[in-house]
Amino acid sequence: MKLLNLFFAIALLALSSIVGYSQTTPADAKQFSKDGLTFSYQPNWTLADDSNGDAQQVTFSRTDSDAQIRVFAHRGRITAEKLPQARKSFIDPYVESTVKQFIAMGARPDQSPESTDIGTTKAEGVLIKASLAGEPGAAKIYWALIGDRVVVLTYFGPDKELKKHQPEFDLIRSSLQIESKKPAAKPSPKP
């Protein structure tokens, strides 16, 4: 019985070590930090920052892959009660636009609900699967209210590339945060 307990203790320790290791940020990871949006990413991805006054948009690509990762963070501050309105205003049209792109390329996309975590926040999403020229692929689109900003995270490409680069996507997804805006310091009254 003691041998069995020892075996389970060793197995539990090994499992917790594996889980702990898989959740650490790689030593060579870079940090993106701009206007309150922060996340880690692998340096072997090319970063294109197409941000403007309305939103931050950062797209990651590789020369050796058709996979792409896009981070979109709306600059407008909203409450949880206003998220359905934001979804109707720009998330649903973005999803529909992605479906139309697949159709324009000759595919017959299928949609199904998805969910994940972005940082520590539960995120809703949609999986759009399609086959282009006989090669299966997908667009995974997730959205959440993080802090008081709407974040949309997209991961798309051929299935084999998505599977291959899943750890790099997970690094961005799991490390993404919106830093809270600090209130301006009020001057103290003079006596």
Mean pLDDT over residues 106-129, rounded? 96
Q: Which domains does the chain have, with CATH numbers?
A: 28-178 (3.40.1000.10)
Quick one: pLDDT at residue 182? 59
Structure tokens at 72: 């979109």
Structure tokens at 104: 């324009």
- Mean residue pLDDT across the chain: 86
Q: What percent of the chain has pLDDT over 90?
A: 76
Weakest mean pLDDT among 14-23, 43-52, 84-93? 14-23
Backbone angles phi, psi at 105, to 5 degrees: -90, 5
Quick one: pLDDT at residue 133? 86
Quick one: pLDDT at residue 83? 93
- 69-79, pLDDT tens digit by residue? 999 999 999 99
12: pLDDT strictly greater than 50:
no
54: pLDDT strictly greater than 80:
yes
Predicted confidence band at 180 (pLDDT cuts at 50, 70, 90)? confident
Mean pLDDT over residues 17-22, rounded? 40
Mean pLDDT over residues 160-176, rounded? 97
23: pLDDT strictly greater than 80:
no
